[in-house]
Structure 1
Amino acid sequence: MTSTPATPAAPGSGDPRDAAPQFVLPLVVRIEKDAPPARTDALETAARAVLALLSDERVREGDGEEGEWARAVRDWEDARIRKVVRRARGAEWRRASALPGITASGERAEVRVYPPVPLDGWPKELVKLQVSGTELDDPERPAAPAAGLPVLWLNPELEMSAGKAMAQAGHGAQLAWWALDGAAREKWRASGFALAVRTAEPGQWAELTASGLPLVRDAGFTEIAPGSCTVVADHPALRGASGDL
């Protein structure tokens, strides 16, 4: 599923991001027939995969030698921040795992993230993987997140497939990462990017969207209407912070 963590503008609206070459961040979730992961586990693992890529040395920029993925990430961020989640199992997963990337693991979930690629330039090992049908369930209602844990809160009024929700969780994690200072980023990385993904209660959602915390607005490419608010990134280090998000 694909979406972008920014206020959308219709194609041709003059948004400079639409004039830039379009890239996408591929994510592949492992879904074996006999052992699919729980939905929340997959969402949390996807968010951590995105953070692992953003913090990787291969994305390093600045003076001196640039990381091997830095140019691709920079080109991706200059356009619309698209993420696409596809599913694989068996031999498909083994082929996908052989490509350069990073695999994040949860309780049972495995999600591999790759450096951004042109929108129409997917590697042949990934291009035939299915986008639709990424449906997962939680066997029981997830417990309340531990105190002090960063939480990516989902909009309770929207219905999203697991693939779409994984992309949205990744967007929320990315906005939180951008908003943190260096010390807070390092602390989060040292924790293994500990986080939770939960669906907010309706009254809580209204408070969250007015809180000044990073807020994902979907571009409306798939499943939901353009401009829909999907995720609030509630990181303790950002409480009380505000900014143009």
Structure 2
Amino acid sequence: MIEELFAWARLDCLPAAQRLGLRREAAALAVRHRRLRTHWAGHVEQTRSALLASARLAAMSPDAPRRAWIMGAGLLQDVPLQAVLELFDTVDLVDVCFGPVARAEAARHPGRVRCVHQDVSGVLDDLSRDPLQAAPAMPADAWCASVNLLSQLPLLPCSARLDRGDSDAGVERYGASIQQAHVDALSRVPHACLIIEYAQTRPDTPDEVLLPGLPVRLAAGGWSAGPHWHWPLNPAGETAEPSGRAMQAWWRTGTHTDPR
């Protein structure tokens, strides 16, 4: 608890995100990253490698962007920033909460690295908004990456909607719309990378799909399947029953589609 309070105090968070508990969640994640760094090392390295592979493809394309826009980068634990800086003139780290490492890198690279506070769902200030209309556009002149974010985006907004009495079915549709809006916005830029948790894993139990149908839709929309790996999210001893996530990277380079 003391570790989480210390981590919480060092975070710089959007007020709307803090009201929903996202600052608390980010602090807890920062502490878990430190405690489970050995267990999570493979996942972190796989994430960094997938991001870098996608970034290099974008940088080598005929219409190579000179800017990177990396969403979910507030703690900067799984982003290969130095390698990305070799490929792009500027790097925007995008999140609702930023830790001291990200802020220090922005100070270390003035004019090249920025911490951009943005709610990429567009609904945190007003949970009654239609996510398909609220999600902000992503910069078309950048390589845009979404890092382990898609499954997390609806969690606290949906919890808040349930707390205020919305129906389970309505909240489920709302959460799916938040995810769809995020993928749609990412699909409108020419160069993109999407890293997803597509299934929950447990020993001796069939995987529970978290994003049903999404891989098929991505493939049909011009995305290429990248590497996949396993993240031991809750290793033995962390929770009563060990569990993990099946991960996969997807990317698009030099193409532009509008899902609308």
Question: Shorter-chain TM-score: what band?
Answer: under 0.3
State the TM-score, normalized to the length of structure 1.
Answer: 0.26
The structure in which a higher percent of residues are strand is 2
Q: Which structure: larger Rg?
A: 2
The structure in which a higher percent of residues are helix is 2
State the TM-score, normalized to the length of structure 2.
Answer: 0.25
